A and B are shown apart, each in its own frame.
Chain A
Amino acid sequence: MSQAQAAIPPQPRAKQLRACLLCSIIQTPADFRKHGCPNCEELMQMKGYPDRIQACTTTHFDGVIGVIDPEQSWVARWQRTSKYVRGMYAVRVKGRIPEDVEAELESRGIKYRPRDQSEQD
C-alpha cells in the first residue's frame, strides 16, 4: 500500500481541475506544473511547461473516480489505471493526446487508447 500517490486536489469543485489525456488522472494545473503527470510524465513532459499542460490535459472530463487501491480495484482495472498511482481519475476524458506523444507511443509499441470511450474493444 505504500505506493506512489498523486496529489489530491484540495477543492473538488474547482473549475480548473484538469485530467491527463493519456492516463486520465485529475489534478490541479498547479500540481501538473509542479510535479507533472504522476503516471506518464516520461511521455508528456508537462512539468514546468504550462503550454504543454494545456495541450496534454483537459478540463473536459466526465465522472470522477477516487482510486484508493488500484491493484485490487476492478474499477481501476477496467479503466486501465491499475498500474498507476493512487489518486483521482476521470471516467471519461474528451480529446486526444498531441500528435507527438501519439507518435512516441507508437514508436514504443504501445497502443494508444483515447479515453473518450469512442473506441470500444
Chain B
Amino acid sequence: MSDIPQRLLMPSVHDANLWQVRVRPGKERDLVFSLMRKAIDLEFSNRPLQILSAFQRDSLPGMIYVEARSAKQVSDACHGLVGIYPSRGIILVPIEEMASLLQIKKQDLTVTPGSWVRIRRGKYQGDLAQVMDITENGEEVGLKFIPRIDLNPKDDGALDALGKKRKKGAVGLASFSMRPPQRFFNYEEVVKVYGRKAVSKRNQVYVFQNDTYKDGFIEKDFRLTALQLDSVNPTLDEITRFTRGQDGTENESNVDLSIIAEASRKAAISVLQPGDHVEVFEGEQAGVKGTVHSIEQDIVTIQPIQVDVDGQRIQLPARSVRKRFKPGDHVKVMTGQNADETGLVVSVEDNVVTFLSDMSMQEISVFSKDLREAAEVGTGTNVVGNYELHDLVQLDLQTVGVIFKTERDSFRVLDQNGQVRLVQPHQISMRRDSNRAIATDSEGHELRVNDNVKEIDGEGRKGRVLHTHQSFFAFLHNRDYNENGGVFVTRARSLVSLAPKGSVMKLGSADLSKMNPALSGGAMGGMVGSGNLGRGPRDRLIGVTVMVIKGPSKGYVGTIKDTNGPVARVELITGNKVITIDKAKLKRRNPDGTLAPLEGGFMGPPRGPVNQNGRTPNPYAQQGGRTPGWGVGRTPNPYANDSRTPAWNATARTPNPYDSNKTPAWNVSSRTPNPYAADGGRTPAWSANSRTPNPYVNAGNATPARPTWGGATPGRPAWGGASPKPGGSSAAAGWGSPQRPAGSSSGWGDSGWGEPPTNAQTPAVAPTPAFDGPTPGAFAAPTPGVWESYGDFRTPAVDLSRNAAATPGITGPDTFSNQEGEFELPARWLLDPDFVTKKGMVVEVRESFGANGWHNGDYEGKDGVVLSVFDTHNETFAAMARVRFREPLVADQDVLTVPVELLRPVHPSDKDENVMILHGQHKGERAKVNVVEASLMVVTTADFVVEEITAEKLVRLSPEAS
C-alpha cells in the first residue's frame, strides 16, 4: 500500500466526490470535529451519515470539504450543525482539483539559528528577537531579545505569591502603550527595585522571575506559532541596538551585519533584477562578482566578470548573492523609511551602503538590497499633498511651523518653539502665507522673506528668511546647518540684515508713518501690514478684472478679491456674488473688453492695475502711457503696438484703408486727409492733373480697393452708382471714420458729382494742412495747383483749425514724435526751462566751424560736462554754457564757455548709464538705463517709472553729477 506512488492514488470516477461547503470563518476545524462526532454518534442509528470523510485546510478559510457520493448526503450531514451554510451551495469539486486541495502547502518558513523573528503576542509583541536554537520537533525556538523589565512596579506586593499572580494578570492586561521600554538587563538596577532575592545567578546567567538573562538579553523559549517568521524586516536601528549589546562596547564581534542579510534574504531574492551588479558572498563562489543574467525562483544565473571563467554563467542560490555598489554610484532607495531618496554612494561595507543624499546632503545608511542604481535625482519627496518643503503651516491654533523635511507621506516640521514634530498632511490645518507678515529686525528695518540675516546674539547664525510669524518669530534657512535640514527658528528682533539696506529702502518703504497703523486710517483694518505699505498688493492679481472662461459661471465678469494657490475668489459683477474658482478658468479682462491671459506680462514692477507713469489706462494712449498687463508696458490697445491710432490693426495701419501708417485725416506729417492719396500731400478730391474734384481720382496712385473708376460711389448718381460700395468694405470704414463726419456724407451728397469739374465742389476745405505741415512728402507732392484752380473746393473732413491735428484719443503731447527720426532736439535745447537749471549733461561740440566758428572748430567733436547754463534771454547776447571738457586742448584750462547752440547731447549707449530724459512726459528727469535694445532703451526714472525711449531722447549724465 505504502509502496504505491501517490500519482496512482489520484481520484477516479469511482471514488466519492468532494463537496465544498461554506462555513463560518474560524469554525472550520470545529465543524470537521463535529461532523466526525456526529458520524460516530449516528453510526448505528436508523440513518447513519453517509459521508466518508470531511476535512479543512487552514489556508482555505471559510470552507470545509466533505467526501460523499451525493450532495444530498452532504446536506444531511450538515443538517443541525451551527455555523455551516449548506444553503449557500454545496459545490462539487472537480476530480482533477481534489488532490490539489490536499496538497496545498503553506510557504515553508524555515527557522534557523541566527535568523530574526518577531514576537506576535504578549509583552514583547512586535519586538525583534534572534533565534538561538530550535527544539527537535521544530515547535519551540529559543529566542534572545531585549527585555522589558518594569523598573517601576506599581506596588511592592507584586513580589509575594499573591502579587505574583496579580502581576501575571497585569502583564496580560498590560496595554501596548503601558509596557516598559526595551532595556538591557542590568543586575544592579533590577536588584535595587526587586530586591536581591528576586534575582539569582547561575554561572553567567541571571534568573529573574523565571526568565533567564544573559549578557543583558532575555533568553526565552517561544512556540513557533507565537512568532512571526515572515516579513520581519529588521531595521538597521534594531539590529545595531541588538548587536551593540548591553553597554555599547560589548559584542563587538557580533557587529556582523550579515546576520541581517539572513533575515532579509527572502526579500533580497525578490529585489534582484536582471542586470543588477551582484557579488557572491558565501559558498564556493564567494567573492565572485557579476551581473544577474536571469532569475528562476531561488536560482540566479550570473555572468561573472573579472574572472577566468568568463563566458560561463554560474547558477547560484539567490540568497548567496547580494547587490553590489561601489562608491560613486548614484543610487535610489526603493523601499523602507528612506524610500525615494537618491544619492551618491560614499562607502560600502558588506551589505550596508552609505550614501550622501541629494536632497538632505546627509549620509544615509541602507541595506544594499533596498537600493537600485538610478540616474535620476530624487524629486518627488519635496511635495506631499498640498504642502511642500519650507512651507509655513498651521499646526494648531497656537502653533505654526516650517516643513524642513518631507518623508514618504509625512513631514518633519519645526514649530515656532523650536520643536520638531512629525506630522501627517491631514494634521496640518492650513498653509500660511507669510508674504503679508511684517517683522522688523534689530535695527528696526523691515524684515522680508528671502533677506539674508544674521543673529546678533546667541550663536550668531546666519540664514535666509523663509518666513516670519506674528512679527516675532523668524524661520531661517541655512543649508550649512545639518540640523533640521538647515531650518531654524529665532526671534526677529535678534536679527540683523547681512546686506545693508539701500537708501531707497530707508527713505522710501520704511516710512514710519506708513507702518503706523494708527496713521494709515481705519480703512486699512488697523492691522499691521494689511494696508498699502508701498509694497503693492500682496498678490498682483488681486483687484484685477477678469472674465470666467469656463464652467458654470462662464462669461461672467468679476474682480479678483483673493487668491490662494491655484484658486482665486472672484467677486462677480452680476449678483454681487463671490465665487471660488480655479485661476485657469479666468482671463484678464481689459478695459476695452478684450481678454488676456491672467498671469504673465508682469515684467515691470508689480504695481497692479495702477498705470505706471500715472496716465490713465486709456486704451488709446500712446507709447509711454501704457497700462500694465501688456508686454513691456504696452498700451492695452490691442491693435496698436506703437504710437498708432486705435482701431487699426496691428500692422500699424492708420484708418486710411488705402494707405499705410497714416491716420485717416490727420496724418503724422500733416498730410491731407485724403484717404485715397497714397503718396501724401494731396487733397482727396484732386487728381494730379487737376481736372476734377473727383475724390476717387488719384495721381497715378490708384487705390487698390477701387479697381475701376467706373465703379461709382453711392450718392453720386452722375457716376452711375453701379457699385454701392466703391471702395469696398474698407473704404466704407474709412468713410465712416470720425474724421470725416457730416462733411463726407453731406458734402458728397450735396455736391453734384455729375457737374463739370470746374464748379464742382468738394465737400472739404481746400487749404489742406499739408501745406503748412512740415512733412516733406507734402511738398514733394504738391497740390497747390489743384488748390489754386479749385480754391473753394474743400477736402473733406479736414479740421482746419488743427494743423497738427491729432488723432482722436491721443493724449500725449508727443503723439507724433514717437516715430523715430521725427524727434529733433531744438538747437538751443539747453535753454529749455526743463534743462537750463540742470547740469552734468554730457555734451559734445558740433558745428563750430565756419565763419562765426568757435575756437576755429578746434573743439569740434570734443565732449564735456555741462556745469552751468547761462540764458541771457536776449538775442543780442548768446546764451552760453560752461562746459568742462574731458580732453581740453589746453591742459589746465578744461572749463570753457560755449555757445549753447553748439552743444549737442551725447546719447547713452550702455546699460546702467545715468541719463536725463530730453523729451516726453518725464522731460528733464534723471533716469537710469536698464535695458538696451536695438533702437530702444528702457530707463527707470528716479521715481521708478519705467519708460521705453529712444536713445536720441536721452542725454548721458556724467557720473559725478549723479
Contacts and interface: CB of A to CB of B under 8 A. Distances in A.
A58 B67 contact: no
B409 interface: no
Interface string A68-90: 11001111111110110011100
B326 interface: no
Interface in B49-75: 49, 51-59, 67
A56 to B, nearest CB: 9
A1 B44 CA distance: 10
Contacts of A12: 29-30, 32-34
Contacts of B52: 67-69, 72-76
A80 B30 CA distance: 24
Interface stretch (A30-38, A41-49, A113-121): A113-121
A100 to B, nearest CB: 13
Nearest to B65: A75
Given A55-B137, A78-B11, A65 B55 contact: yes
Contacts of B34: 12
Contact of A13 (B1, B29, B58, B138): B29
A74 B15 contact: yes
B224 interface: yes
B3 interface: yes
Contact of A5 (B7, B40, B106): B40
A28 B59 CA distance: 23
A64 B33 contact: yes
Contacts of B575: none
A102 B527 CA distance: 91
Contacts of B288: none
A75 B105 contact: no
Interface in B768-809: none
A39 interface: no
B204 interface: no
Most buried by B among A8, A69, A121: A69
Contacts of A92: 105
A78 B359 CA distance: 61
B32 A66 contact: yes
Contact of A64 (B56, B104, B223): B56
B138 A64 contact: no
Most buried by B among A1, A72, A110: A72
Nearest to A9: B33
Contacts of B138: 58, 60, 94-95
Contacts of A80: 1-2, 9
B53 A73 contact: yes
B73 to A, nearest CB: 11
A28 B108 CA distance: 25
Contact of B53 (A13, A54, A76): A76
Contacts of A113: 2
Contacts of B30: 12-13
A100 B721 CA distance: 130
Contacts of B55: 63-66, 75, 91
Q: DSSP majority for the B interface?
A: mixed
Interface stretch (B95-103, B273-281, B375-383, B853-861): B95-103
B843 interface: no
A62 B106 CA distance: 9
Contact of B139 (A1, A9, A59, A68): A59
Nearest to B12: A74
B33 A68 contact: no
Contacts of A64: 29, 32-33, 55-56
A88 B40 CA distance: 12
Given A12-B30, A64-B33, A91-B102, A69 B136 contact: no
Contacts of A1: 43
B102 A8 contact: no
A21 B225 CA distance: 18
B209 interface: no
A73 B11 CA distance: 10
Contacts of A91: 55, 57, 102
Contacts of B253: none
A59 B140 CA distance: 10
A57 B1 CA distance: 23
A16 B137 CA distance: 14
A72 to B, nearest CB: 5
Given A72-B16, A73-B16, A121-B7, A62 B53 contact: no
Given A65-B55, A68-B54, A73-B16, A58 B137 contact: yes
B6 interface: yes
Contact of B11 (A9, A74, A94, A120): A74
Contacts of B136: 55
Contact of A110 (B2, B37, B54): B2
A74 B67 contact: yes
Contacts of B137: 21, 54-55, 58, 60, 95
B522 interface: no
B5 interface: yes
A94 to B, nearest CB: 6
A69 B58 CA distance: 23
A91 B101 CA distance: 10
Contacts of A110: 2
B3 A78 contact: no
A88 B102 CA distance: 15
B58 A63 contact: yes
Interface string A97-121: 0000000000000110100011011
A84 to B, nearest CB: 11
A62 B2 contact: no
Nearest to A63: B57
Nearest to B60: A63
Contacts of B99: 78
B36 interface: yes
B39 interface: yes
Nearest to B34: A12
B697 interface: no
Interface string A4-35: 01001100110000000100000000000000
Contacts of A82: 1
Contact of A65 (B7, B9, B32): B32
Given A75-B67, A78-B99, A113-B2, A68 B39 contact: yes
B354 to A, nearest CB: 41
Contacts of A5: 40
Nearest to A17: B29
Contacts of B269: none
Nearest to A91: B102
B35 interface: yes
A11 B292 CA distance: 53
A64 B65 CA distance: 10
A16 to B, nearest CB: 11
A54 to B, nearest CB: 7
A57 to B, nearest CB: 8
Interface of A: 1, 5, 8-9, 12-13, 21, 54-55, 58-60, 62-69, 72-80, 82-83, 86-88, 91-92, 94-95, 110-111, 113, 117-118, 120-121
Instruction: Report, nearest first, the 5 A-B pairs whose CB atoms are least far apart.
Output: A66-B36, A65-B55, A12-B33, A74-B15, A73-B52
28 contacts: A12-B30, A13-B30, A59-B225, A60-B139, A60-B225, A62-B57, A62-B106, A64-B29, A66-B32, A66-B53, A66-B55, A67-B52, A67-B53, A68-B52, A68-B54, A74-B16, A74-B52, A76-B52, A76-B53, A80-B1, A86-B40, A88-B32, A92-B105, A94-B138, A120-B6, A120-B103, A121-B5, A121-B7
Given A59-B223, A60-B138, A65-B32, 16 more contacts: A60-B225, A62-B59, A64-B33, A65-B53, A65-B55, A66-B35, A66-B53, A68-B39, A73-B67, A75-B18, A75-B52, A78-B6, A78-B11, A91-B55, A94-B138, A118-B108
